Structure 1
């Protein structure tokens, strides 16, 4: 361990940076969706919040929020009021919850395809920016899936709305796209 720390110091790297280097998996991330993510997406482009903001201001891309949505608990006592937690997201983004899990049902895959088609007016070359929260594999999985569906201009923003709000960029409350 001592030799590794010396090597890290000689290379000018921080221990944290070395410890958090994450490689892309061969497939989808299947569990532990919150944690360090890769700094790349094969076939796609990685955006920081500032570059995403530039695209947003130019109106050149469709923004797809893939934050999962907590389901309403079953068997709530009668009279219990259930309120979904509001989602503060990038203005104009389309919210397609639950499409970033590692394994999704065909109905969820169809929902994602329809949402992407709606956001891009059916143009698979139209840029899409996919995001969630910082260190959330849901957005990485969803961006990978969009590439597999044939979208050619897929951007992934790993800092998500956490990074967006860090720069004090505007947000608005959005609601999920209806499911079939």
Structure 2
């Protein structure tokens, strides 16, 4: 085999291994730890997947907890002394709870505790209560957070993979988010 042909074959096989079929992203066994803004699978094993119309029904019923996992921008470390830092505005679904930075593939011990304790608080310690995880379209953070909730024993995990992008596209409004302390 020619060297160029071998490289081409490796690239094709490597690409095919990361997809579940024609253009479909395969669901990985572990958390996604990089390239968070890239195509996501159509499924999250153990969770139900919904679109904007079903999300609207669930948010209106008031029984389902909506968790936005969009990351919070860090304060730049090299700001000149005396510079005022203002967090960028994040917009979310009205009634959702913003738990920033809990969708990374690897969480610090502090963020593990934050995720577990806030999720328990938001669900009233009821691991059967429906919880919707979302972020933006093609964002692995909501997939990771849903997978993490399943690993903690939550049994009614719902994933809204297109998140606020689909919400707005469906004609629904967003509101300014405040992180859950």
TM-score by length of 2: 0.86
Structure 1: gaps of 5 or more residues: 1-17
Distance 1:166 1:20 in 2: 23
1:35 to 4, 18, 38: 38
1:99/1:112 contact within 8 Å kept: yes
Distance 1:119 1:151 in 2: 12
Structure 2: gaps of 5 or more residues: 1-20
Distance 2:162 2:169 in 1: 10
1:20/1:36 contact within 8 Å kept: no
Distance 1:163 1:103 in 2: 27
Distance 1:110 1:128 in 2: 18
State the aligned residue count.
162
Distance 1:75 1:136 in 2: 28
Q: Secondary structure at the match of 1:68?
A: coil
Q: Secondary structure at the match of 1:64?
A: strand
Distance 1:75 1:40 in 2: 40
2:91 to 88, 92, 100: 88
User: Measured at CA, do residues 173 and 43 of structure 1 come closer, stay the same or move farther in structure 2, by a change above 3 Å?
Assistant: same
Q: For 1:130-141, what aligned pairs fall within 5 Å after superposition?
A: 130-141=133-144
Backbone CA RMSD of aligned residues: 1.4
Q: Secondary structure at the match of 1:33?
A: coil
Which 4+ residue blocks in structure 1 deviate beyond 4 angstroms? none
Distance 2:145 2:60 in 1: 23
Q: Secondary structure at the match of 1:140?
A: helix
Distance 1:78 1:31 in 2: 32
Distance 2:152 2:34 in 1: 22
Does residue 1:64 correspond to 2:67, yes or no? yes
Q: For 1:51-130, what aligned pairs fall within 5 Å after superposition?
A: 51-130=54-133
Q: For 1:156-171, what aligned pairs fall within 5 Å after superposition?
A: 156-171=159-174
